[in-house]
């Protein structure tokens, strides 16, 4: 359905080589073979949306456990700043290795299975982290290794999510699903920063890993028992072509300007989001030293949760009212990058120096950046639904 919709709307705006490639795919596959018959019913999609939201929240809780505990662990095990950097940096080294592979496997066997298996594995690593930390003289190495493996296993999450969205959800409902999933990132960050800090102070850093790890195992077990054992069990899409052809098709897509436009746009918004995540506490602490810390650590990210869900609803509403998919995606991305940048520039102006105004402008900017969830993040599923996971991994 995505291919047919984009044929009427989005694809006509792209170059002829991409149109030729899409036409060849449509000749070689029927709609049933392309997985179009695997769409979730509306009620099932709503249940999956809630379950995946919780899974995304737990993903970020487990991811944030080490950064929250790093200072305490460094003091306990007498780590230097270099040692702490090696442990924390290990996650990102592993995270970049499985993006494309995770998306490719999800496109083949179903992203639901990939998510459940990977979640169970990184949850067990989370639980085992306190035990590895006390493993004699090799503790530092094992900590860095565990973080690396965490990155490897969590790296498949968002490519798998993109694959699920493209295979199981209608075009007009994908924006809300992806926006809800990304709002789970902010919820997980708030939960880890709020509850995690309390757990750390009351019960010690080990309890942080045990709590988030056990909850993640229970989530994986719940999804496996109640969602993947019935009629909705993911089925592998059978084709007459080999996986090598799929990789060749993916490489062929990289020759097209629209694909590189998506990659470049995603890179820009990711740099902005990560900069805000790292820079905001320092900015408020240095500019407004007497401000209450929990206010500026909570309000912008709470606004991001509300904005992400609202943006997804609005984008799906516009599509349901007949607006073109490509036009809606471009509008949301413009709001995410263009309008949010204007509010960030207002923060830089000396005219607005009060804490309230700075908090307002930054909260609006952070909230608007979440509109990318119904912009470029879902656009890849509109263009190439059959290999959306693998192409999303390129981002």
By CB atoms closer than 10 A (0-12, 13-18, 19+), residue 33 is: middle
3-state SS class at 110: coil
Cα–Cα distance for residue pair 274/279, rounded to 1 Å: 8
> Among 29-43, 108-122, 151-165, 205-219, whose mean pLDDT is lowest?
29-43
3-state SS class at 240: coil
pTM of the model: 0.74
Instruction: State the pLDDT at residue 128.
Output: 95
In 3D space, the residue among 198, 225, 190 whose CA is nearest the CA of residue 60 turns out to be 190
Instruction: State the pLDDT at residue 393.
Output: 64
Average pLDDT over residues 290-302: 81
Domain with CATH 1.20.1250.20 in the chain: 43-229
Instruction: State the pLDDT at residue 154.
Output: 93
The total of other beta-carbon atoms located within 10 Å of residue 381's CB is 24
pLDDT of 339 over the 50 cut:
yes
Instruction: State the pLDDT at residue 34.
Output: 42
Question: What token pair was written down for 130?
Answer: 């306190």
Instruction: State the pLDDT at residue 54.
Output: 95
For residue range 216-244, what is the model confidence (pLDDT) as tens digits?
A: 999 999 999 998 874 444 454 444 444 44
pLDDT of 41 over the 60 cut:
yes
Instruction: State the pLDDT at residue 296.
Output: 81
CA distances 15 to 202, 259, 354, Å, are 59, 11, 49
Q: How far is CA 389 from the centre of its chain?
A: 12
3-state SS class at 377: helix
Cα–Cα distance for residue pair 126/217, rounded to 1 Å: 10
In 3D space, the residue among 205, 350, 344, 366 whose CA is nearest the CA of residue 298 turns out to be 366
CA distances 215 to 15, 50, 191, Å, are 47, 16, 13
Instruction: State the pLDDT at residue 31.
Output: 38
Query: Domain 43-229 sits in which CATH superfamily?
Result: MFS general substrate transporter like domains (1.20.1250.20)
For residue range 56-94, what is the model confidence (pLDDT) as tens digits?
A: 999 999 998 888 888 888 888 888 888 988 898 888 889
Cα–Cα distance for residue pair 369/334, rounded to 1 Å: 10
Q: Are 394 and 253 in contact (CB under 8 A)?
A: no
> Among 44-58, 107-121, 133-147, whose mean pLDDT is lowest?
133-147
- Report phi then psi at 353, rounded to 5: -115, -5
> Which range is most confident: 11-25, 286-300, 333-347?
333-347
At residue 19 the predicted structure's pLDDT band, cuts being 50, 70 and 90, is very low
Instruction: State the pLDDT at residue 259.
Output: 79
For 68, what's the count of Cα atoms within 13 Å in the CB-facing half-sphere?
27
Instruction: State the pLDDT at residue 147.
Output: 93
Average pLDDT over residues 209-215: 96
Cα–Cα distance for residue pair 357/342, rounded to 1 Å: 14
pLDDT of 245 over the 80 cut:
no
On average, the pLDDT of the chain sits at 80
Q: Which residue has the higher pLDDT, 126 or 297?
A: 126
For residue range 141-187, what is the model confidence (pLDDT) as tens digits?
A: 999 999 999 999 999 998 898 888 888 888 777 888 888 888 888 89
| DSSP character string of 296-343 | HHHHHHHHHHHHHHHHHHHHHHHHHTT--HHHHHHHHHHIIIIIHHHH
Cα–Cα distance for residue pair 391/148, rounded to 1 Å: 23
Instruction: State the pLDDT at residue 242.
Output: 44
Average pLDDT over residues 321-333: 90
Instruction: State the pLDDT at residue 89.
Output: 85
pLDDT > 70 in the chain, percent: 81
Instruction: State the pLDDT at residue 378.
Output: 80
């Amino acid at each position: 359905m995505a291919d047919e919709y984009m044929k009427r709307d989005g694809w006509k705006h792209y170059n002829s080589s991409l149109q030729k490639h899409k036409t060849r795919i449509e000749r070689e596959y029927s709609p049933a073979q392309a997985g179009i018959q695997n769409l979730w019913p509306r009620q099932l999609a709503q249940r999956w949306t809630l379950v995946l939201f919780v899974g995304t929240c737990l993903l970020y809780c487990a991811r944030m456990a080490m950064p929250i505990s790093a200072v305490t662990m460094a003091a306990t095990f007498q780590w230097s700043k270099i040692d702490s950097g090696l442990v924390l940096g290990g996650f990102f080294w592993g995270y970049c290795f499985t993006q494309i592979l995770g998306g490719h496997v999800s496109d083949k066997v179903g992203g639901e299975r990939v998510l459940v298996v990977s979640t169970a594995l990184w949850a067990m690593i989370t639980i085992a982290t306190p035990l590895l930390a006390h493993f004699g003289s090799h503790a530092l190495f094992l900590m860095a290794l565990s973080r690396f493996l965490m990155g490897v296993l969590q790296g498949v999450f968002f490519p798998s999510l993109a694959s699920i969205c493209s295979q199981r959800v209608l075009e007009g409902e994908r924006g809300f699903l992806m926006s809800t999933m990304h709002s789970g990132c902010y919820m997980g960050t708030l939960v880890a920063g709020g509850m995690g800090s309390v757990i750390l102070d009351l019960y010690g850093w080990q309890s942080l890993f045990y709590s988030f790890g056990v909850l993640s195992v229970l989530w994986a077990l719940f999804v496996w028992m109640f969602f993947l054992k019935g009629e909705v069990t993911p089925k592998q899409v059978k084709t007459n072509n080999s996986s090598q052809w799929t990789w060749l098709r993916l490489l062929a897509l990289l020759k097209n300007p629209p694909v590189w436009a998506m990659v470049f746009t995603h890179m820009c918004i990711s740099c902005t989001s990560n900069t805000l995540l790292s820079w905001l506490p320092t900015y408020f602490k240095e500019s407004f030293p007497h401000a209450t810390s929990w206010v500026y650590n909570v309000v912008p990210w709470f606004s991001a949760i509300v904005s992400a869900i609202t943006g997804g609803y609005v984008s799906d509403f516009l599509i349901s009212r007949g607006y073109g998919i490509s036009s809606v995606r471009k509008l949301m991305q413009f709001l995410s990058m263009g309008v949010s940048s204007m509010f960030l520039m207002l923060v830089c102006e000396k005219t607005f120096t009060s804490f309230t105004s700075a908090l307002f402008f930054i909260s609006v900017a952070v909230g608007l950046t979440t509109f990318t969830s119904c912009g470029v993040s879902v656009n890849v599923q509109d263009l190439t639904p059959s290999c959306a996971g693998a192409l999303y991994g390129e981002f």
